[in-house]
Amino acid sequence: MKKFLFVFSMCIALISGTNSVNAQTFKVGVFDIDLMVQAMPQYHLVDSMVQQYEIDSLGAEYTYNQSEFARLDSTYKSDSALAAQGKKSQALVNFTMEKRRETGMKIVYWQQYAQNKSNNKRGQLAQPLYAQVINAYKAVLARKKYDLILKPQTYEAGFSIDNIFISVARELKLAGLPQELLGMGDDPGAVAPKQPAAGTVKPKPKQ
């Protein structure tokens, strides 16, 4: 992927050499909605609530499944012996065996199951933050008119690119951003220093 984007950036460089007007209007930015949501100050509350959910709800469910498997296993063994004596319906034994199998499989794949439940819960709790970020992102795009937006880690270092995280943070009136997001690219709102007019002599520094 990076190789493709490097070739793409080379194409932009070639365009800039042959058609400077078009190249000047081609705007590239970097952004990721998930990372921006995680940078929101309120996101730590989502983290806390998810951790509590994992302890209270998922922890209780795991304990229940363990005890339920033990119960079903004991019932299955007892009913199998009775069925062999003709004292228990084989259909009932088969039903218990299937329920035991289902519960056992849930325990075996518990980590994957719990992670999916946790992710779904996180998505529900973070939904208001996603709405805020998406609205701010749309407002930035309406003003800036970017031609291409890349995700972090999908472009070569040194590639000149606008850091849309900064623009969205300003739109959301955030006090700051994590350092790793600040270093993603150039500040789109930075004011370029004024160049001295042609022929202007710079004052000599005082001795």
In the chain, where are the structural domains located? 26-182
The 10 Å Cβ neighbour count of residue 185 is 22
Q: What is the pTM of this model?
A: 0.71
* Chain segment 66-113, per-residue pLDDT in tens: 999 999 999 999 999 999 988 889 999 999 999 999 999 999 999 999
**Cα–Cα distance measured from residue 183 to residue 38, given in angstroms and rounded to the nearest whole number:** 16
